[in-house]
Amino acid sequence: MSDGANGSAEIALRVENLSKNFGGVKAVGDVSVTVPKGLIYAIIGPNGAGKTTLLNMISGFYAPDQGSIHLGNEDITRLNPANRATKGIARTFQNIALFNGLTVLDNLMMGRHVHMKAGVLASFLYWGKAQREEVEHRRRVEEIIDFLKLSDLRREPTGALAYGLRKRVELGRALAVEPSLLLLDEPMAGMNQEEKEDMVRYVLDVNGEFGTTIVLIEHDMGVIMDISDRIAVLDQGSKIADGTPDEVRNNPQVIEAYLGSGH
């Protein structure tokens, strides 16, 4: 893997001078981030630092007040979330956003609809070309189910699953998009130690086996320091540091603003 400081590295995501205000309150102010392709890139900071707002702008849920977002060489600043998904961006949410009444399999199939040309309704009713499409998409979803060790649960409604398993299903639905860039918003939040270890392994495997570039927000500093290639630190909406885990760990501003504040 190339170090993010190396200018020759191929860039997966480039965020330039992003700002977002809510009612006169600065959530994110003039933040720039460059994520080299194939890296696990963490965004950390105290509560209210602007991390989720930044992720929401990258995924298209918020429009920035100023600045630009590039996926590779393409400016995606004006694209909506659905169009960004077709370009290869997928995300999970801090609060699980699954269809609880649908099975694990159906939730993952919903993630495939960004690739389906026949449309959601036709896909569920198996009309014409949609039936052939569904077979191919089902094959890919079954591979993800096997990868995440959810085979025994594929027919279970997601609402009946334990919390850690639902978080894993949400990761699976994001993977069904076949993203080049995966955005994870606190993927280990609320998990016990065993569930965290499972999720860490899957995140590393997604990065290592699929080559997926990952940008994640996570409060568990032990996890962040163990798995991240590079880390950006936000404080009160501004970026105060950006570097390797060792560089960030030893940065006086970070120690004062974050690591030394009991988070």
Which amino acid would we find at residue 197? E
pLDDT at 210: 93
pLDDT at 117: 52
pLDDT at 112: 79
Level-2 CATH architecture, domain 96-178: 3-Layer(aba) Sandwich (3.40)
In the chain, where are the structural domains located? 1-88+179-263, 96-178
Q: How far apart are CA 53 and CA 65, in angstroms?
A: 12
pLDDT at 258: 62
Domains 1-88+179-263 and 96-178 share a fold: yes
Q: How far apart are CA 262 and CA 101, in angstroms?
A: 39
pLDDT at 126: 54
Both structure tokens of 153: 């649960």
pLDDT at 6: 45
Both structure tokens of 151: 């085979």
Per-10-residue mean pLDDT, the chain, length 263: 52 96 92 97 91 95 96 95 92 78 89 60 54 73 94 92 92 92 93 92 95 94 93 94 93 76 44
Q: How far apart are CA 132 and CA 135, in angstroms?
A: 5
| Residue in 143, 140, 109 with CA at minimum distance from that of residue 124 | 109
Level-2 CATH architecture, domain 1-88+179-263: 3-Layer(aba) Sandwich (3.40)
Q: How far apart are CA 123 and CA 134, in angstroms?
A: 6
pLDDT at 260: 55
